């Protein structure tokens, strides 16, 4: 059987040298921390694992108080599955309104600020739109764009500004970890980012240079970890996969945090599908079902985010997706074949398995709802495929079939990947042998001839 696209590995190696003079050779067996002289980096200070300490930033910018707000999805407090947009304070320093002449009025102004229209950080674990809020005397100022933040920071001359610049470029910085040290032209920062989206999800650790003018450059990197069994749902083209929750969280917490992110991404995918179906004149029934699927995925994102929270993880539920133009029928058909006909169909089978076997009753109840909806979404994918198939040329249909067969090949390979025992026990995630059996049965149902012949 030919290897599906995206199943290979990158064995390239390189070595770079940072300002500190530490050579970083990716093939060197010496641990990354030792090669970087990790003890020379200062730890990132936090009030708690989800609240950064920005005291140094408040002092350096001459502020009474400064905070970072991150806007994201959250379920309504009544316990329903609908979601709303809220802005949480992800970090702060100083005392709000400390020198204001009318402190109650100042406090009300601070509380009213949201992050709508703020800068976007690809793969941010704590939100999708961000803004800084500063108080100085009676003035309450909001800095929403990267240009406004750059003016607020001025030259990067303290460590907190350096790691915040890395954060603004989509890198993840973990509380308590050694992160920043001074270099000849600013700072060096250790951070992480997702570099492989599925499956496995690959987390890469970087050594960055943050210059005093705010520019961020990569000096070196290495693969920090791989996470198996997280990919679920219909992924939109251009999705920036967020870093799964910190490794100190349980496997179940990490799993549902990532599932919540991907379920939220499916909202965007189905909304895009509805728009493109409308553009290309698809039947009203298909358009309405795509809109309903988007609403389903909003509920799924909220449900799985709550489960992640029960297990101590923070769910990056609002994804960042690159904008795109309306695609051709063939491009639609290829994505629908891969993401819908293969991934969603297999995802519906896995969700059904989890609903029946999850040891956590709350997870089992959620998976019953998700399995029902995902089965309906898989049916929609196949009906969309049938409608598109009638409109494509024979050569285009062959290319779609090839893409679908390659996705099946990848599904069969991924089914053998390891799964944490806690995920099997609590979340009902099928172990590799069972997952492989389910994938093989689905492949046989999709094709009556060997997959190798279809790949060609």
Residue bearing tokens 């920071």? 153
Of 86, 57, 50, nearest to 172 by C-alpha is 50
Question: Token pair for residue 41?
Answer: 């980096």
**Residue for token digits 């679908």?**
404
Q: What is the pLDDT of residue 24?
A: 38
395 phi, psi to nearest 5 deg: -65, -40
Average pLDDT, rounded, for the chain:
80
pLDDT reported for residue 141: 95
pLDDT at 149: 94
Give the pLDDT confidence score for residue 87 in this predicted structure.
67
Q: What is the CA radius of gyration of the chain?
A: 24
- C-beta of residue 121 within 8 angstroms of C-beta of residue 167: yes
Instruction: Check residue 119 and report its DSSP letter.
Output: B
pLDDT digits (tens, 9 = 90+) for 137-196: 999 999 999 999 999 999 999 999 999 999 888 888 878 888 899 998 899 999 988 776
Q: How confident is the model at residue 337 (pLDDT cuts 50, 70, 90)?
A: very high
Residue 410 phi, psi dihedral angles, 5° rounding? -65, -40
Q: Which residues pair with 69 in a beta bridge?
A: 89, 131
24-30 long-range contacts, Cβ below 8 Å, gap at least 24? Answer: 24/207, 24/219, 24/220, 24/222, 26/220, 26/221, 26/222
| Residue 202 pLDDT greater than 60, yes or no | yes
Instruction: Give the pLDDT of residue 33.
Output: 65
Give the domains, in start order, of the chain with CATH numbers: 24-46+155-227 (no CATH), 49-154 (no CATH), 239-455 (1.20.1260)
Euclidean distance between CA atoms 71 and 173, whole angstroms: 18
Q: What confidence tier does 268 reach under pLDDT thresholds 50, 70, 90?
A: confident
| Residues 131 and 112: beta-carbon distance below 8 Å | no
Tokens of 55: 């005291």
- Residues 343 and 409: beta-carbon distance below 8 Å: no
What beta strand segments (E) does 315-399 contain?
320-321
Structure tokens at 124: 């941010």
């Amino acid at each position: 059987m030919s290897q599906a696209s995206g199943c290979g590995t990158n064995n390239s190696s390189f070595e770079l040298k940072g300002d500190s003079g530490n050579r970083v050779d990716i093939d060197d067996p010496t641990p990354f921390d030792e090669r970087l002289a990790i003890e020379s980096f200062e730890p990132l200070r936090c009030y708690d694992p989800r609240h950064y300490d920005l005291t140094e930033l408040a002092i350096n910018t001459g502020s009474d108080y400064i905070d970072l707000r991150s806007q994201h999805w959250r379920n309504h407090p009544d316990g329903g599955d609908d979601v709303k947009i809220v802005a949480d304070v992800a970090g702060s320093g100083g005392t709000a309104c400390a020198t204001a002449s009318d402190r109650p009025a100042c406090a009300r102004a601070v509380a009213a600020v949201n992050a709508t229209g703020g800068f976007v950080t690809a793969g941010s674990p704590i939100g999708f739109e961000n803004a800084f809020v500063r108080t100085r005397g009676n003035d309450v100022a909001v800095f929403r764009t990267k240009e406004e933040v750059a003016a607020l920071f001025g030259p990067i001359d303290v460590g907190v500004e350096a790691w915040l610049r890395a954060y603004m470029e989509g890198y993840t910085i973990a509380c308590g970890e050694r992160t920043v040290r001074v270099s000849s032209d600013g700072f060096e920062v250790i951070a992480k980012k997702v570099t492989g989206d599925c499956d496995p999800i690959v987390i890469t650790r970087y050594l960055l240079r943050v210059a005093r003018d705010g520019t961020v450059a990569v000096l070196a990197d290495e693969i920090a970890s791989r996470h198996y069994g997280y990919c679920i749902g219909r992924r939109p083209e251009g999705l920036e996969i967020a870093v799964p929750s910190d490794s100190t969280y349980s496997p179940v917490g990490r799993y549902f945090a990532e599932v919540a992110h991907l379920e939220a991404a499916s909202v965007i995918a189905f909304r895009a599908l509805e728009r493109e179906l409308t553009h290309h004149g698809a039947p009203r029934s298909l358009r309405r079902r795509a809109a309903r699927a988007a609403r389903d995925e909003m509920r799924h994102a909220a449900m799985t985010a709550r489960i992640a929270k029960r297990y101590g993880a923070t769910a990056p539920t609002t994804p960042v997706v690159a904008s795109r133009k309306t695609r051709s029928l063939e491009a639609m058909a290829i994505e629908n074949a891969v993401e819908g006909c293969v991934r969603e169909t297999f995802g519906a089978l896995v969700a059904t398995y989890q609903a029946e076997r999850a040891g956590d009753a709350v997870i089992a109840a959620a998976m019953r709802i998700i399995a029902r909806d995902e089965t309906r979404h898989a049916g929609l994918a196949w009906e969309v495929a049938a409608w598109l198939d009638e409109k494509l040329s024979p050569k285009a249909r062959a290319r779609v079939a090839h893409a679908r067969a390659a996705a099946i090949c990848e599904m069969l390979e991924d089914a053998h990947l390891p799964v944490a025992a806690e995920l099997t026990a609590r979340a009902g995630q099928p172990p590799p042998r069972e997952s492989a059996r389910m994938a093989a049965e689905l492949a046989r149902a999709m094709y009556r001839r060997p997959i190798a012949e279809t790949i060609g």
